[in-house]
């Protein structure tokens, strides 16, 4: 059961967002007896913890702004209507007023405010001490996750570790990224120490020890702390509860939710909380650049492989192509894709992940905006590729680095050849980077990859093309500005001590 998201959130009436803007931090004086009354039962503490989870949902519902929209500011795809501002970012028109910029910043501080409030008050609650310890660990993971998302897109931000209070927090300056990172690592270490490895079915969806270790591995990787990334990734593996799911396409089907590969996902359930991923991912907004990036089954690119047939470009490709993308001439939902379908009339390519359909069997789709597929935030393949990348950066392409990447390529439903042995460090790095792009296409990870690799200034200064090579969207990336997002203009206006990122 996806229980945790749907229980009554009594807590939400007692807390407000914890952004740096005055209107978000403004609190009417709280009656102390009411606060004491609230923090007097285990039931209320559980509701408070659910309130800490609730901000996870916002970025992943509606237009899927944090999953699909991040794809749309990479060479993989584009945003059709620019409703979130993803296309503006991709075109080089990033600015502090865009919805994606503002919503990501505010909702993370909302989550931080809620976790800080729980951590400051839960010791008042008379409840089982072991359960209290677990509640604290869940909250500390969530706070770390919210801060992780802040620093990776905005850089250093105000570090707030107390319940929302405009008088003390409304004019805080930015802390350095390093200072916030220290808190993230501390929170994740504490969370991993006290979280269980798994839960009963009634608590499925709660944060686990594996999620805490995996997020630490990602955070360390993103910040080139290769040793910590290796240690945290290996600790995740050593839990011995995760494994690559054999069916790559099946990873993202509703019937396989919570499979062996999922470490951390966002819980949706019809009819209480739904999304529209089934419709969004079929929109036909995938660029030719991603399609062309898939290797041939001999491990060679289409430009050099003798297996590539321009007259039948879908043949003999990395099997993940047909399991990730809807392409003209392929089967989808029991029908041949001709290009006349609504979802394929823009570029000739669309995402297949997170749809309800399979290739050879016709299925009934959900009603619009009533999908309950869980978006996966971290999965086991990422842990393996983290080991491969961090090991190569530390020690070059060792046996360990090869073994980890080959495990991903050798998944039963993929069965790509092993990476060529004897590569240099730079050669292996390029192979690893392509592997991450292909393995996680459509999952919102490639944007942060091209940012942290400092390749965005190259790949985002190339036009987005359809299947025939026609320009669909002109792209631009300013290397002196665009590696960070701007802080929202409202927060800058309301807080005179909040310094904007350069160039905005």
Give per-residue pLDDT as tens, 59-116.
Answer: 888 655 678 899 999 999 999 888 899 999 999 999 999 999 999 999 999 999 999 9
Q: Are residues 170 and 301 in the same domain?
A: no
pLDDT in tens, 136-149: 999 999 999 999 99
262-265 and 376-379 beta bridge pairing: antiparallel
d(CA 321, CA 442): 12
On the question of a cis peptide bond just before residue 271, with omega within 30 degrees of 0, the verdict is: yes
> Is-contact 276 372, C-beta < 8 A?
no
Q: Are residues 50 and 165 in the same domain?
A: yes
Q: Are residues 163 and 281 in the same domain?
A: no
pLDDT for position 3: 40
How many CA atoms within 13 Å lie on the side-chain side of 480?
3
Structural domain contains residue 190: no
Q: Which of 88, 78, 83 is nearest to 63 (CA)?
A: 83
> Is-contact 283 376, C-beta < 8 A?
no
Structural domain contains residue 266: no
> Is-contact 236 383, C-beta < 8 A?
yes
Tokens of 170: 């409304």
d(CA 74, CA 449): 10
Structural domain contains residue 244: no
Q: Are residues 156 and 34 in the same domain?
A: yes
d(CA 151, CA 79): 24
d(CA 330, CA 336): 6
Q: Is the pLDDT of residue 246 over 90?
A: yes
Q: Is the pLDDT of residue 34 over 80?
A: no
CA-based torsion, 237, 408, 212, 398: positive or negative: positive
CA-based torsion, 127, 133, 134, 135: positive or negative: positive
Q: Rounded to the nearest 5 degrees, what angle is found at the Cα of 462, between the Cα atoms of 461 and 466?
A: 150
Domain boundary at 316, 351, 386, which? 351
Q: Are residues 146 and 290 in the same domain?
A: no
Q: Which of 245, 274, 248 is nearest to 374 (CA)?
A: 274
Q: Is the pLDDT of residue 222 over 60?
A: yes
| Confidence band, pLDDT 50/70/90 cuts, at residue 37 | confident
User: In 69-108, which positions are buried (b, 16+ CB within 10 angstroms) versus exposed (e)?
Assistant: bbbbbbbbbbbbebebbbbbbbbeebebebbbbbbbbbbb
Per the structure, the complete domain to which residue 15 belongs is given by 1-175+482-504
Per-residue CA distances from 267 to 258, 273, 365, 385, 399 (Å)? 10, 8, 20, 25, 37
User: In 326-357, which positions are buried (b, 16+ CB within 10 angstroms) versus exposed (e)?
Assistant: bbbeeebbeeebeeebebbebbbbbbbbbbbb
Structural domain contains residue 456: no
How many CA atoms within 13 Å lie on the side-chain side of 229?
22
Number of separate domains in the chain: 2
> Is-contact 413 247, C-beta < 8 A?
yes
Task: Please state, for a pLDDT cut of 90, what percent of the chain lies above it.
Answer: 84
Q: Annotate 413-434 with DSSP letters as a single string.
A: TT-PPPPPTT--HHHHHHHHHH
**CA 274 to chain CA mean position, Å:** 18
CATH number where 165 lies? 1.25.40.390
Q: Are residues 39 and 150 in the same domain?
A: yes
**Mean predicted lDDT score pLDDT of the chain:** 91
Structural domain contains residue 75: yes
pLDDT in tens, 365-384: 999 889 999 999 999 999 99
Q: Three-state SS for 387?
A: helix
Q: Are residues 162 and 36 in the same domain?
A: yes
Q: 396: left (phi > 0), else alpha (psi -120 to 50), else beta? A: left
Choose the weakest-confidence range: 62-66, 430-434, 439-443: 62-66
Structural domain contains residue 406: no
Domain boundary at 318, 351, 384, which? 351
Q: Which of 178, 221, 269, 194 is nearest to 391 (CA)?
A: 221
Q: Annotate 29-65 with DSSP letters as a single string.
A: PPPHHHHHHHTT-HHHHHHHHHHHHGGGTGGGSTTTT
Task: Please state, for a pLDDT cut of 70, what percent of the chain lies above it.
Answer: 91
d(CA 63, CA 359): 25
Is-above-0.75 flag for pTM? yes
β-bridge mates for residue 349, sequence order: 327
Domain boundary at 292, 321, 351, which? 351
Structural domain contains residue 468: no
Structural domain contains residue 401: no
């Amino acid at each position: 059961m996806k229980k945790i998201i749907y229980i009554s959130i009594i807590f939400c009436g007692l807390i407000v967002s914890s952004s740096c803007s005055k209107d978000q931090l403004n609190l009417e004086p709280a009656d102390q007896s009411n606060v004491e009354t609230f923090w007097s039962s285990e039931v209320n503490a559980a509701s408070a913890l659910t309130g800490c989870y609730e901000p996870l949902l916002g970025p992943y519902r509606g237009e899927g702004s944090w999953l699909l929209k991040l794809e749309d500011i990479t060479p993989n795809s584009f945003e059709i209507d620019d409703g979130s501002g993803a296309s503006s970012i991709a075109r080089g028109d990033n600015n502090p007023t865009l919805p994606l910029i503002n919503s990501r910043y505010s909702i993370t501080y909302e989550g931080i405010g809620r976790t800080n409030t729980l951590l400051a008050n839960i010791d008042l609650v008379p409840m089982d001490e072991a359960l209290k310890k677990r509640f604290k660990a869940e909250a500390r993971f969530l706070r770390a996750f919210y801060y992780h998302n802040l620093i990776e897109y905005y850089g250093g931000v105000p570090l707030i570790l107390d319940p929302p209070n405009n008088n003390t927090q409304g004019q805080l300056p930015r802390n350095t990224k390093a200072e916030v990172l220290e808190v993230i690592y501390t929170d994740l270490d504490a969370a991993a120490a006290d979280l269980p490895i798994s839960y009963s079915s009634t608590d499925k969806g709660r944060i686990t020890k594996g999620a805490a270790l995996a997020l630490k591995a990602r955070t360390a990787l993103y910040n080139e702390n290769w040793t910590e990334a290796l240690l945290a990734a290996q600790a995740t593996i050593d839990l011995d509860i995760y494994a690559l799911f054999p069916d790559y396409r099946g990873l993202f089907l509703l019937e396989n939710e919570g499979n062996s590969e999922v470490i951390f996902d966002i819980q949706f359930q019809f009819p209480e909380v739904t999304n529209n991923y089934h419709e969004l991912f079929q929109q036909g907004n995938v660029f030719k650049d991603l399609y062309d990036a898939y290797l041939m089954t001999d491990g060679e690119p289409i430009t050099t492989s003798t297996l590539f047939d321009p007259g039948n470009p879908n043949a003999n490709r990395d099997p993940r192509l047909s399991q990730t993308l809807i392409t003209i001439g392929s089967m989808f939902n029991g029908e041949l894709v001709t290009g006349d379908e609504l979802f394929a009339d823009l570029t000739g390519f669309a995402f297949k992940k997170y749809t309800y359909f399979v290739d050879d069997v016709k299925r009934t789709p959900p009603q619009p905006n009533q999908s309950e597929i869980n978006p996966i935030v971290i999965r086991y393949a990422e842990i393996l590729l983290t080991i491969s990348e961090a090991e190569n950066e530390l020690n070059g392409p060792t046996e360990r680095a090869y073994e980890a990447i080959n495990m991903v390529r050798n998944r039963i439903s993929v069965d790509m050849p092993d990476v060529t042995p004897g590569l240099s460090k730079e050669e292996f790095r390029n192979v690893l980077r392509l592997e991450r792009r292909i393995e996680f296409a459509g999952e919102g990870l490639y944007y942060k990859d091209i940012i942290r690799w400092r390749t965005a200034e190259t790949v985002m200064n190339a036009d987005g093309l359809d299947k025939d090579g026609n320009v669909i969207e002109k792209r631009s990336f300013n290397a002196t500005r665009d590696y960070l997002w701007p802080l929202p203009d409202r927060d800058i206006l309301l807080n005179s001590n909040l310094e904007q990122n350069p160039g905005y």
